[in-house]
């Protein structure tokens, strides 16, 4: 997951990614821009001022206080937000946990998004120290504010880079049962549901139950994107990934 205080499309140009965090308010508000630029991707909308917006809160000096985290989360949960995310430096883990307890918010009802600039992709755990118990749900491990933490591919960009846990965005969908490979000339219900799922992912494909040359061409592009052997046939791995693989820009 990437975030930036600048133009997301410009900051992330040429990179592969599947999620963005963007600011819903404050001096760097860019959520509306990110949503227009990347309508297919998963998005976090960050509230920095406590205005009661979005699905992520920013708790650090200059934004919301650590003590406010539990109350903010409680209000967002009451508003119907699924597991609002709390962003903070891992060194303030215990303060955030105390705030949740004070507000009567269970740890499982929120997503913990720590900042821990080690330059190594990780999700914070007790191994990180700072009184961490269990694990975070995401960790921002590299930032252009700390350029020494970023690999060269991110050099000279305004960018923060986070690793998210597998269930950060909710449980992965379960693919329908795979029955047979789809190839040019295949027809029937299996072809139709694969085409429909590809369409939901944002691919321009006709949903007609016939696996023709255009379906095979899109399959090849999808296989290439996901690092599979490119055959143009929907095998078990390609079929499953159609439902479970992240949508990337």
Predicted pLDDT of residue 173? 78
User: Going by DSSP bridges, is the β-strand pair 19-23/2-3 parallel, antiparallel, or unpaired?
Assistant: parallel
Domain positions in the chain: 2-164, 189-244
Encoded tokens for 196: 């429909």
pTM of the model: 0.81
Q: In Å, what is the CA distance from 110 to each residue of 11, 39, 72?
A: 28, 24, 11
Residue 220: Cβ-neighbour burial (10 angstroms; 0-12, 13-18, 19+): middle
Residue-level pLDDT at 40: 87
CA distance 220 to 226: 10
- The CATH architecture assigned to 2-164 reads Alpha-Beta Barrel (3.20)
Instruction: Report residue 249's pLDDT band, with 50, 70 and 90 as the boundaries.
Output: confident
Position 247 scores a pLDDT of 84
pLDDT tens for each residue of 33-89: 999 999 989 999 999 999 999 999 999 999 999 999 999 999 999 999 999 999 999
Residues constituting the chain: 249
HSE, CB side, 13 Å, CA atoms: give it for residue 107: 12
Three-state helix/strand/coil letters over the chain? CEECCCCHHHHCCCCCCCEEEEECCCCCCCHHHHHHHCCCCEEEEEECCCCCCCCEEEECCCCECHHHHHHHHHHHHHCCCCCCEEEEEHHHHHHHHHHHHHHCCCHHHCEEEEECCCCCCCCCEHHHCCCCCCECCEEEEEECCEHHHCCHHHCCCCCEEEEECCCCCCCCCCCCCCCCCECCCCECHHHHHHHHHHHHCCCCCCCCCECCHHHHHHHHHHHHHCCCCCCCCECHHHHHHHHHCCCCC
- How is residue 47 written in tokens? 């509230």
Question: Residue 203 has what pLDDT?
Answer: 93
Instruction: Please write the tens of the pLDDT for every residue from 92-112.
Output: 999 999 999 999 999 999 999
Asked if 194 contacts 182 with a C-beta cutoff of 8 angstroms, the reply is yes
pLDDT in tens, 112-141: 999 999 999 999 999 999 999 999 999 999
Residue 156 CB-half CA count within 13 A:
2
The band of 248, judged by pLDDT with boundaries at 50, 70 and 90, is confident
| Confidence (pLDDT) at 135 | 97
Convert the pLDDT of each residue in 131-182 to its tens digit: 999 999 999 999 999 999 999 999 999 999 999 998 999 977 789 999 999 9
């Amino acid at each position: 997951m990437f975030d930036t205080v600048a133009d997301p499309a410009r900051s992330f140009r040429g990179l592969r990614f599947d999620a963005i965090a963007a600011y819903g308010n404050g001096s760097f508000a860019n959520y509306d821009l990110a949503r227009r630029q990347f309508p297919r991707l998963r998005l976090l909308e960050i509230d920095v001022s406590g205005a009661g917006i979005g699905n992520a809160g920013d708790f650090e000096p200059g934004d919301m206080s650590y003590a406010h985290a539990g109350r903010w989360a409680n209000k967002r949960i009451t508003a119907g937000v699924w597991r609002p995310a709390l962003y903070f430096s891992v060194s303030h883990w215990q303060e955030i946990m105390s705030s949740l307890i004070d507000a009567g918010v269970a740890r499982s009802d929120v997503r913990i998004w720590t900042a821990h600039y080690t330059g190594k992709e990780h999700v914070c755990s007790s191994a990180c120290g700072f009184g961490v118990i269990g694990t975070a749900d995401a960790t921002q491990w590299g930032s252009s504010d700390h350029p020494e933490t970023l690999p060269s591919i991110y050099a000279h960009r305004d960018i923060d880079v986070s690793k998210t846990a597998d269930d950060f965005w909710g449980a992965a969908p379960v693919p329908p049962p795979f029955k047979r490979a789809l190839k040019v000339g295949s027809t029937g219900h299996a072809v139709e549901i694969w085409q429909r799922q590809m369409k939901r992912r944002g691919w321009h494909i006709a949903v007609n139950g016939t696996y023709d040359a255009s379906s095979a061409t899109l399959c090849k592009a999808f296989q290439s994107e996901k690092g599979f052997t490119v055959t143009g046939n929907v095998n078990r791995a390609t079929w499953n990934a159609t439902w479970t693989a992240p949508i990337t820009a």
